[in-house]
Amino acid sequence: MSLPADSAAQLGIYAQLAVGFAGFAGVIGAFSRFRMHAEATAFRVRAMVALALLLAVFSLLPMLVAGFGVSEAGIWRICSGVLAVVSSVAVAIMVRQASVLYRVGRLMKWAAYVLSTIATLLILPLFAVAAGFLPAYAEAFYFALMFFALVTCSYHFILLMVAVRLDESEGVASAELWEEPSAKQSSGGSHEPRAHPGARKRAGRRPAGGG
């Protein structure tokens, strides 16, 4: 049995966005310099790549299961169970890594709490769907977690882009700081030094003494 056209189209959009985010994460992580700490930057790049891969895989999984002739309800039940297990492992790993970073001030603590709490609340219904409960909302719960993964990926992407922009502005500021002293030296060198007032008085008294 095949998936409905609307569901298949939505899954295709998620797959395309996931591939785009994975490519952006690789380019940003490889060729950019960041103002943020290296540990936080590496964590965000890893989180983006992991979320993008999860989005890509679970965008294609329902179509793969449908190819075996499983009913629509069975498709979402199977995919929900797999997504719940994999997402739980991914959240546990990310929370463990984030807890180390925000303890030393590398990440925003409240953001880690909010993201992990929302992820947990969205994962729990998927376990219920996999157990046979709430079959009418199976597709909705599945896409809700997928959408949250996309939002989280976008959040890390925006912070990485902000870090790159801050790094460039710092480079411009540092260049201006280096140019300012040299400009002052060049402009100050063109003026003749002023003579001391006492020297002028002595120079004015010499002709009178000689007469």
How is residue 193 written in tokens?
Answer: 């030094």
| pTM (predicted TM-score) | 0.70
Q: Which residue has the tokens 């189209």?
A: 9
State the virtual CA torsion across 142, 147, 152, 154 in degrees, nearest 10. Answer: 150
pLDDT tens for the chain, 211 residues long, are: 678 888 889 899 998 888 888 887 777 766 555 555 567 777 788 888 888 899 999 999 999 999 888 888 899 999 999 999 999 999 888 888 777 766 655 566 777 788 888 999 999 999 999 998 988 999 999 999 999 999 998 888 887 777 664 444 444 444 454 455 454 455 554 444 455 555 554 545 555 444 4
> What backbone torsions phi and psi does residue 90 show, to the nearest 5 degrees?
-65, -45
What is the CB-side half-sphere exposure of residue 209 using CA atoms within 13 A? 6
CA 27 to each of CA 8, 111, 151: distance values in angstroms, whole numbers, following the listed order: 29, 25, 20
